[in-house]
């Protein structure tokens, strides 16, 4: 079994050693530009087009992150980059869910307990107690109810908040009200006090966080975007903050990363920025996930995490 690996930021040696330990019959190599030797599987993150082009022998391409949109965008721009029959496989949870829960819960509790406002009062040297909202009036909506979204929603339920989710198909999550499809988006947004975005980046969801959506939330709502920067219409967000329709926003992702120094987001006191750190792929858990999936394929079983190229996730 032959495996090729490419990641512009991760050290290849760790992955080569780890995968060969987990799959004793495998021979893993870091892909180089001149490499046209056969391969059964590819592990990639932002791969060069030449790495995958013409590789009809591949039995699966593993995407080394939660998002699959970058590779799908490459395939749209370069349709011949990868044969259509080669399965694309995402990492369903490699320690990312626990990290995402920590990030979102921290941000949610900060807004619920009004810590962001206390920081502004501190800067003005004002000692002032702010009233606390009733949790039952602090409805949280999770847009995107995939593996990460479902676990985030469940964590918020345990804190006593009313939680709802919205996705393309209905979800059965204990104590979470499920909304599905375009026809139920307005009902999902109505009454939502804090919106957590965990949608996949697809043509249908790009720019979804815009003025029209913000107007349908409770006035003074909060936004937490841990999906993709492409989901957010940035001028609409800043205008909604200026008008008071949106009270504040926490953004872990931006349309351009790193965020340019002149970008207006840096200067909004009601915007909290983090540099795309909400949930990172943990190599040890990722290798466990990939090795198990390869064993399934080798034993004739259907793999988990298969990407639908049409739907975009």
- pLDDT, tens digit, 9 for 90 and up, residues 187-214: 999 999 999 999 999 999 999 999 999 9
Q: What is the CATH number of the domain that holds 78?
A: 3.40.50.720
Q: Is the confidence at residue 313, as pLDDT, over 90?
A: no
pLDDT at 16: 97
Q: Are residues 221 and 72 in the same domain?
A: no
Confidence of residue 9 (pLDDT cuts 50, 70, 90): confident
Q: Across residues 217-222, what is the average pLDDT?
A: 98
Triad 279, 199, 189: Cα angle to 5°: 120
What percent of the chain shows pLDDT beyond 90? 88
Q: Are residues 202 and 261 in the same domain?
A: yes
Q: Do 244 and 219 form a contact (C-beta atoms < 8 A)?
A: yes
The domain tally of the chain equals 2
pLDDT at 119: 96
Q: Are residues 113 and 249 in the same domain?
A: yes
pLDDT at 88: 96
Q: Which of 257, 273, 289 is the last residue of a domain?
A: 273
pLDDT at 312: 85
Q: Are residues 101 and 192 in the same domain?
A: yes
Q: Is the confidence at residue 65, as pLDDT, over 90?
A: no
Range with the poorest average pLDDT among 74-83, 208-217, 252-261: 74-83
Q: Is the confidence at residue 93, as pLDDT, over 90?
A: no
Record the pTM: 0.92
Q: Are residues 115 and 9 in the same domain?
A: no
Confidence of residue 293 (pLDDT cuts 50, 70, 90): very high
Distance CA 223, CA 28 (A): 42
Confidence of residue 114 (pLDDT cuts 50, 70, 90): very high
pLDDT at 106: 98
Phi, psi of 67 (to 5 degrees): -90, 140
pLDDT at 83: 85
Q: Are residues 77 and 116 in the same domain?
A: no
Phi, psi of 178 (to 5 degrees): -100, 130
Confidence of residue 307 (pLDDT cuts 50, 70, 90): very high
Output Rg (C-alpha) for the chain, integer angstroms: 21
Which residue numbers are catalytic? 228, 276
Confidence of residue 60 (pLDDT cuts 50, 70, 90): very high
Q: Is the confidence at residue 253, as pLDDT, over 90?
A: yes
Q: Are residues 291 and 188 in the same domain?
A: no
Mean of the per-residue pLDDT values for the chain?
A: 95
Phi, psi of 190 (to 5 degrees): -65, 120
> What angle, rounded to 10 degrees, do the helices at 96-112 and 147-158 form?
40
Q: Is the confidence at residue 66, as pLDDT, over 80?
A: no
Domain holding 214, by residue range, is 96-273
Q: Across residues 141-162, what is the average pLDDT?
A: 97
> 312 lies in a domain?
no
């Amino acid at each position: 079994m032959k495996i090729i690996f490419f990641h512009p930021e991760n050290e290849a040696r760790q992955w080569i050693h780890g995968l060969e330990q987990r799959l004793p019959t495998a021979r893993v190599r870091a892909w180089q530009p001149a490499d046209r030797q056969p391969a059964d599987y590819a592990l990639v993150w932002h791969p060069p087009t030449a790495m995958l082009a013409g590789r009809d022998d591949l039995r699966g391409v593993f995407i080394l992150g939660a998002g699959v949109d970058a590779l799908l965008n490459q395939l749209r721009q370069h349709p011949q980059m990868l044969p259509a029959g080669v399965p694309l496989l995402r990492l369903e949870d490699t320690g990312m869910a626990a990290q995402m829960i920590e990030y979102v819960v921290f941000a949610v509790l900060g807004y619920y307990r009004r810590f962001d406002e206390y920081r502004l009062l501190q800067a003005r040297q004002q000692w002032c107690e702010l009233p606390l909202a009733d949790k039952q009036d602090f409805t949280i909506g999770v847009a995107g109810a995939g593996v990460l979204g479902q676990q985030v929603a469940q964590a918020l339920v345990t804190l006593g908040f009313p939680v709802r989710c919205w996705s393309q198909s209905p979800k059965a999550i204990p104590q979470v009200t499920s909304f599905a499809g375009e026809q139920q988006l307005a009902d999902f947004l109505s009454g939502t006090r804090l919106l957590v975005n965990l949608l996949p980046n697809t043509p249908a969801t790009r720019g979804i966080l815009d003025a029209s959506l913000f107007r349908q939330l409770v006035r003074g709502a909060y936004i937490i975007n841990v999906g993709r920067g492409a989901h957010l219409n940035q001028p609409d967000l800043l205008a909604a903050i200026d008008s008071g329709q949106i009270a504040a926003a926490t953004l872990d992702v931006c349309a351009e990363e790193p965020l340019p120094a002149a970008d207006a987001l840096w200067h909004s006191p009601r915007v909290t920025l983090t540099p795309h750190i909400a949930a990172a792929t943990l190599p040890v858990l990722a290798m466990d996930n990939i090795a198990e999936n390869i064993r399934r394929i080798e034993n004739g079983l259907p793999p988990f995490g298969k990407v639908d190229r049409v739907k975009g996730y």
